[in-house]
Chains A and B, each alone.
Chain A
Amino acid sequence: ETGVTQSPTHLIKTRGQQVTLRCSSQSGHNTVSWYQQALGQGPQFIFQYYREEENGRGNFPPRFSGLQFPNYSSELNVNALELDDSALYLCASSLVPGLAGVSEQYFGPGTRLTVT
């Protein structure tokens, strides 16, 4: 069983550019959630994907978009990068909660994005 993986590990971009971050979910998990974690803060929910569709979104503008593929891997795209987008971007995979009503999520190591 493989864990959650993310690529790249680090990335430096210039303000106004676009970036794509990638995530492979844990084996058997069909839901992927993306989080932004600024330095010294807790992760903030960006959005969640289930069955290749967005299944919920946090307070992030439309320039943050995503995709989920049939193998449950996912991409996070950010357009028109701003300096404040510099953060650790985390991907977490989980199963949609069933009868138990609980869904545990497991995180990847993150992608550190720096916008200059």
Chain B
Amino acid sequence: TQLLEQSPQFLSIQEGENLTVYCNSSSVFSSLQWYRQEPGEGPVLLVTVVTGGEVKKLKRLTFQFGDARKDSSLHITAAQPGDTGLYLCAGGGVYSGTYKYIFGTGTRLKVLA
């Protein structure tokens, strides 16, 4: 059974602070995706990383894929209230002949103005 653990589970910070969310597994993934989800809505894809050690930037968000492709991190610089939401990582790979995604437990972020 593949598991993806995210930490922290909950995070409440002031506007302007920096934060890092971690996504860890003992399994190797072909790709890893990060999503943000608002209450009552579907997850929205932020980024996909596929190469070990890869770093991608999306404005104030920096995503990194671990060298061994087992873990990833999401760093937000100068957080804003609009960053509030549930952040999910999902590891992709072929399991029992099917390409599918295993989702992490999620990190609920609240940014206070």
Residues of A bordering B, CB below 8 Å = 4, 6, 33, 35, 40-45, 48, 55-56, 58, 88, 90, 92, 96-97, 100-110, 112
Contact with A along B49-70 (1 / 0, CB 8 A): 0100000000000000000000
Residue of A nearest to B1 (CB): A59
Is there a chain A Cβ closer than 8 Å to B111's Cβ? no
Contact B103 A56 (CB under 8 A): no
Interface residues on B, range: 20 to 34
Instruction: Please choose the segment from B13-21, B39-47, B71-79 that sits at the chain A interface, where 4 or more of its residues have CB less than 8 A away.
Output: B39-47
* Minimum CB distance partner of B9 in chain A: A40
Asked whether, in the complex, the Cβ of B100 is within 8 Å of the Cβ of A33, the reply is yes
- A42 near B48 with CB under 8 A, answer no
**6 closest Cβ contacts across the A-B interface?**
A56-B98, A107-B42, A42-B103, A102-B31, A42-B106, A109-B42
Once A42-B105, A45-B101, A104-B33 are accepted as A-B contacts, the answer to whether A110 and B95 lie under 8 Å apart by CB is no
B104 contacts across to A, CB distance below 8 A? 42
On chain A, the residues within 8 Å of B97 by CB distance are 56
Distance A41 CA – B4 CA, assembled complex (angstroms) = 12
Question: Do B42 and A102 touch across chains, with their CB atoms under 8 A apart?
Answer: no
Contacts of A107 in B (CB 8 A): 35, 42-45
Given A55-B98, A110-B40, is A41 in contact with B31 using a C-beta cutoff of 8 Å? no
Do A90 and B42 contact each other (CB < 8 Å), given the known contacts A41-B106, A42-B105, A102-B50?
yes
Cβ–Cβ < 8 Å partners of B44 in chain A = 107
